[in-house]
């Protein structure tokens, strides 16, 4: 191991400090015994206990989770289908237009997406609630899924599908038995992306949420406007931990599969 | 090899299994298959031969159902199959790129087609075991495709396409990645399978020797057209034109002008001040018509002295010797600068070879040794 030069040490420290000091402060103050956020009065976990008893927060967490799971699942199905047709469907009328249009929500300001969805829901007389948030989140995360999946599909060897058809599969079977298992990693990362997008969306959710269906980001945002409480800090710390665990788990899984593949390839080289 | 004479293509009443009728396939403005008609009969081992890009794979893909002809009709057992999807055809194809399923083991790859047919489990297991044995892959049954070598992959692809015992099997360069020994074994294996199962094979190959070994008939293609369709020996002995003669095996081509003589014999003026060459031909040539005399190197005899009574004899000097083990090919330069190849069997040890570089030699061949071609 090389020792870092003092310059590198300083840059590294500054960079990480810039990124993490706000979060570290938040985490530390979530364990503050005092009700005042800025005054340290000893270690305590009482805010976490209080959090567990706070019905409003628990409800919001439940809504958020429901919305994230539902919308990312629907978006994954729709996004994968869209990607498949755009990459595989051959040339059909308006294909270029469609593939261009599917990326539009990526660059559209969220405020506009949210507003237009709100107008639509009012227009068709749909009461705002969990359903409308799910629909809204599906709409904007679907295009992310389709981008991820189609970038995998363009490198997918088409003759694999042809071989499946040749061996007696219907097109649907060929997709289920051959295409899907092979592109599964891309589909899963599409789902994860959609899930996180839905988890931390504030703007679109605030346009489409009803009074009885507040998501966690909305709840935190409105609570903070009345003043930061240690309870919010505790809640945020919980969210940070969940995200951290998720990220570490994902990287471990992908590292494991990479190691396994390397081992396989070495074995193959020996077999020759 | 074939005990009873198998020549359905000469029987006017025989029904072909596959019939291409004026099939044209265009990709955009590019014509890959050009107004092609062809009959292939049941139990045939039909080889498609031709340079890269001549349309061999395209023909296979139309039979497999992956491409539709732009014009024309393709019949399988008397029924028009244009528009029938691949999974509804009793046809299996071995892909040039193998197309093995990377997420399935060798065993599951081979069983894939059988499972789609919902056959009983025991039957599938027996069939897969049989295929593994045939392709000598027993040891690799549990491996994934990326864990085996290129030649092993090719054998998996072959086993997978054979497993369903289809009526028609399409093999796109099935043996390209195998070493000479395994290749020969597999060729005989294929012929054996064909004899046992009565499957009709259409095989694409770059290797003309392979086509000669396995095929009942060979089609030589060029730029989307069939140049000649005939049995291997006819393709070799009486090629339809210079292209076929040149494509199949080694050949010397001598251009000249024909003068008709007696009994289908022609005198060919081929070089200033040289004695005309003699050759017979069943096709007629007019006096003064340009013709090409195609002579296989193994039909040319090489000697120190002019052989007595030889009809065709030319003198030259040895330019190069290619030693091929069992054979030697001598490249002999004539005074005109033309190089003629002569091949002899090495029955003696190489140290006792009678000719060496720069030696003056005579080349001779009989009146029927060459084939006279119009173009
Ligand atoms: N999908 C396609 N789009 C456009 N051109 C194509 C397509 N498929 C094939 N071609 C062209 O058609 C011609 C014939 O292709 P084909 O694959 O049949 O050649 P081949 O005889 O199998 O060659 P090889 O021996 O190299 O495999 C080639 O010039 C090729 O570029
Ligand atoms: Mg090809």
Question: For the segment B60-85, what is each residue's pLDDT rounded down to a tens digit?
Answer: 999 999 999 999 999 998 899 988 99
Q: Which residues contact B83 (CB under 8 A, 6 or more apart)?
A: B68
How many angstroms separate the CA atoms of B230 and B335, rounded?
37
In a domain, A268, yes or no: no
In a domain, B1, yes or no: no
In a domain, A157, yes or no: yes
Average pLDDT over residues B21-31: 94
Task: Please check whether residues B234 and B269 belong to one and the same domain.
Answer: no
Between B122 and A258, name the one with better pLDDT: B122
Least confident of A87-96, B186-195, B344-353: B344-353
Between B38 and A1, name the one with better pLDDT: B38
In a domain, B2, yes or no: no
Task: Please check whether residues B52 and B198 belong to one and the same domain.
Answer: yes
Q: How would residue B48 be classed by pLDDT, with cut points 50, 70 and 90?
A: very high
**Domain at A173, CATH number:** 1.10.3720.10
In a domain, A42, yes or no: no
Single residue among B215, B243, B271 that ends a domain in this structure: B243
Least confident of A93-97, A234-238, B227-231: A93-97
Task: Please check whether residues B230 and B139 belong to one and the same domain.
Answer: yes
Q: β-strand B312-323 against B265-269: which pairing, if any?
A: unpaired
**Total number of domains constituting chain B:** 2
Task: Please check whether residues B260 and B182 belong to one and the same domain.
Answer: no
Query: Cβ separation of B101 and A164 shorter than 8 Å?
Result: yes
In a domain, A16, yes or no: no
Q: Indicate the burial class of B357 (C-beta count within 10 angstroms; 0-12, 13-18, 19 or more).
A: exposed
Task: Please check whether residues B262 and B226 belong to one and the same domain.
Answer: no
Residues of B in contact with A159 (CB under 8 A): 95, 97, 99
Query: Cβ separation of B164 and A167 shorter than 8 Å?
Result: yes
In a domain, B279, yes or no: yes
Give one word for B74, left, alpha or beta, with left for phi > 0 and alpha for psi -120 to 50: beta
Report whether pLDDT(B351) > 60.
no
CA torsion angle A95 A100 A105 A108 (round to 10): -150
Q: Name the residue range of residue B117's domain.
A: 8-243
**Total number of domains constituting chain A:** 1
In a domain, B151, yes or no: yes
In a domain, B88, yes or no: yes
Q: How far is the CA of A91 from the centre of ligand 1 (A)?
A: 19
Task: Please check whether residues B228 and B114 belong to one and the same domain.
Answer: yes
Q: Name the residue range of residue A147's domain.
A: 58-236
Q: How would residue B3 be classed by pLDDT, with cut points 50, 70 and 90?
A: very low
Task: Please check whether residues B179 and B217 belong to one and the same domain.
Answer: yes
Ligand nearest to the CA of B55: 1
pLDDT (0 to 100) of residue A72? 94
How many angstroms separate the CA atoms of B93 and B290, rounded?
44
Q: Report chain B residues touching chain A, CB-CB < 8 A.
A: 64-66, 85-87, 91-93, 95, 97, 99-103, 112-113, 116-117, 140, 143-144, 146-149, 152, 160-161, 164
Q: How would residue B264 be classed by pLDDT, with cut points 50, 70 and 90?
A: confident
Task: Please check whether residues B104 and B224 belong to one and the same domain.
Answer: yes
Query: Scanning the structure block, which residue is given the tokens 């097109």?
Result: A171
In a domain, B158, yes or no: yes
pLDDT (0 to 100) of residue B352? 59
In a domain, A109, yes or no: yes
pLDDT (0 to 100) of residue A272? 46
Query: Cβ separation of B103 and A159 shorter than 8 Å?
Result: no
What digits encode the pLDDT tens for the residues A136-188?
999 989 988 998 898 888 888 889 999 999 999 999 999 999 999 988 888 88
Q: Which residues line ligand 1 (CB under 6 A)?
A: B 27, 30, 32, 50, 52-58, 96
Single residue among B197, B212, B243 that ends a domain in this structure: B243
H or E element at residue B280:
strand B277-280
Task: Please check whether residues B75 and B187 belong to one and the same domain.
Answer: yes
CA distance B130 to chain A (A): 18
Q: How far is the CA of B99 from the centre of ligand 1 (A)?
A: 17
List the alpha helices (DSSP H) in chain A: 6-30, 46-53, 55-88, 95-101, 104-107, 110-123, 130-153, 158-166, 171-174, 180-199, 203-208, 216-225, 230-271
Task: Please check whether residues B234 and B284 belong to one and the same domain.
Answer: no
Which of A162, A267, A271 lies at the smallest CB-CB distance from B66? A162
Q: ipTM of this model?
A: 0.80
Q: How would residue B1 be classed by pLDDT, with cut points 50, 70 and 90?
A: very low
Q: Which residues contact B157 (CB under 8 A, 6 or more apart)?
A: B94, B95, B98, B99, B100, B174
pLDDT (0 to 100) of residue A30? 87
In a domain, B133, yes or no: yes
Q: Report chain A residues touching chain B, CB-CB < 8 A.
A: 157, 159-160, 162-171, 173, 177-178, 181-182, 264-265, 267-268, 271-272
Task: Please check whether residues B309 and B213 belong to one and the same domain.
Answer: no
**Domain at B289, CATH number:** 2.40.50.140
CA distance A155 to chain B (A): 14
Q: What is the mean pLDDT of chain A?
A: 86
What digits encode the pLDDT tens for the residues A31-84?
888 887 778 888 888 888 888 888 888 888 889 999 999 999 999 999 999 999
CA distance B116 to chain A (A): 6
Task: Please check whether residues B235 and B255 belong to one and the same domain.
Answer: no
The DSSP code for A32 is B
In a domain, B109, yes or no: yes
In a domain, A33, yes or no: no
In a domain, A158, yes or no: yes
Average pLDDT over residues B186-206: 85
Query: Cβ separation of A173 and B86 shorter than 8 Å?
Result: no
pTM of the model: 0.79
The DSSP code for B3 is S
What digits encode the pLDDT tens for the residues B313-326?
999 999 998 888 88
The DSSP code for A43 is B
Which residue does chain B place closest to A163, by CA atoms?
B99
Phi, psi dihedrals of residue B148, rounded to the nearest 5°: -125, 165
């Amino acid at each position: 191991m090389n020792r870092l030069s003092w310059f590198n040490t300083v840059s590294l420290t500054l960079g990480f400090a810039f990124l993490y000091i706000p979060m570290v402060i938040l985490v530390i103050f979530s364990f503050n015994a005092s009700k005042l956020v800025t005054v340290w009065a000893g270690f305590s976990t009482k805010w976490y206990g209080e959090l567990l008893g706070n019905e409003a927060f628990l409800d919001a967490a439940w809504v958020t989770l429901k919305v994230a799971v539902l919308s990312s699942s629907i978006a994954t199905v729709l996004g994968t289908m869209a990607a498949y047709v755009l990459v595989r469907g051959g040339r059909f009328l308006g294909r270029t237009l469609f593939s261009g249009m599917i990326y539009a929500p990526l660059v559209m300001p969220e405020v506009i997406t949210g507003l237009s969805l709100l107008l639509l829901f009012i227009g068709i007389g749909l009461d705002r609630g969990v359903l409308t948030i799910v629909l809204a989140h599906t709409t904007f995360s679907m295009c992310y899924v389709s981008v991820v999946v189609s970038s995998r599909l363009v490198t997918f060897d088409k003759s694999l599908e042809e071989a499946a058809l040749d061996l007696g599969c219907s097109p649907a079977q060929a997709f289920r038995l051959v295409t899907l298992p092979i592109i599964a990693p891309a589909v899963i990362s599409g789902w994860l992306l959609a899930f996180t997008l839905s988890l931390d969306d504030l703007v679109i959710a605030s346009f489409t949420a009803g009074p009885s269906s507040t998501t966690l980001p909305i709840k935190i945002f409105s609570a903070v406007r009345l003043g930061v409480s240690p309870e919010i800090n505790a809640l945020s710390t919980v969210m940070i931990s969940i995200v951290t665990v998720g990220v570490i788990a994902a990287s471990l899984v992908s590292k494991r599969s990479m190691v396994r593949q390397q081992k396989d390839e070495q074995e193959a080289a020996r077999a020759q | 090899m074939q005990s009873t004479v198998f020549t359905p293509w000469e029987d006017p009443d025989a029904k072909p299994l596959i019939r291409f009728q004026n099939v044209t396939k265009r990709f955009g403005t590019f014509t890959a298959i050009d107004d092609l008609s062809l009959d292939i009969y049941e139990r045939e081992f039909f080889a498609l031969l031709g340079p890269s890009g001549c349309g061999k794979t395209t023909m296979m893909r139309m039979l497999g159902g992956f491409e539709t002809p732009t014009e024309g009709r393709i019949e399988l057992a008397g029924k028009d199959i244009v528009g029938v999807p691949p999974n509804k055809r009793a046809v299996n194809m071995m892909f040039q790129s193998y197309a093995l399923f990377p997420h399935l083991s060798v065993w599951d790859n081979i069983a894939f087609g059988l499972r789609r047919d919902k056959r009983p489990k025991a039957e599938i297991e027996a069939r897969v075991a049989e295929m593994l044995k045939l392709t000598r892959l027993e040891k690799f049954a549990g491996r994934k495709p990326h864990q085996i070598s290129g030649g092993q992959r090719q054998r998996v692809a072959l086993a997978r396409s054979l497993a369903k015992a289809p009526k028609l099997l399409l093999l796109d360069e099935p043996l390209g990645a195998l070493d000479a020994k395994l290749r020969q074994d597999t060729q005989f294996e294929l012929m054996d399978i064909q004899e046992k199962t009565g499957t009709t094979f259409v095989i694409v190959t770059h290797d003309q020797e392979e086509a000669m070994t396995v095929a009942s008939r060979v089609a030589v293609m060029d730029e989307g057209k069939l140049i000649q369709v005939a049995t291997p020996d006819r393709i070799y002995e009486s090629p339809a034109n210079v292209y076929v003669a040149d494509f199949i095996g080694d050949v010397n081509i001598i251009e000249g002008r024909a003068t008709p003589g007696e009994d289908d014999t022609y005198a060919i003026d081929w070089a200033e001040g040289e004695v005309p060459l003699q050759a017979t031909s069943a096709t007629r040539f007019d006096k003064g018509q340009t013709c090409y005399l195609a002579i296989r190197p193994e039909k040319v005899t090489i000697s120190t002295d002019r052989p007595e009574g030889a009809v065709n004899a030319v003198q030259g000097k040895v330019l190069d010797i290619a030693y091929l083990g069992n054979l030697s090919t001598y490249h002999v330069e004539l005074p005109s600068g033309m190089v003629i190849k002569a091949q002899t069997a090495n029955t003696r040890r190489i140290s006792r070879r009678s000719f060496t570089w720069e030696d003056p030699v005579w080349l001779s061949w009989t009146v029927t040794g060459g084939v006279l071609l119009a173009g």
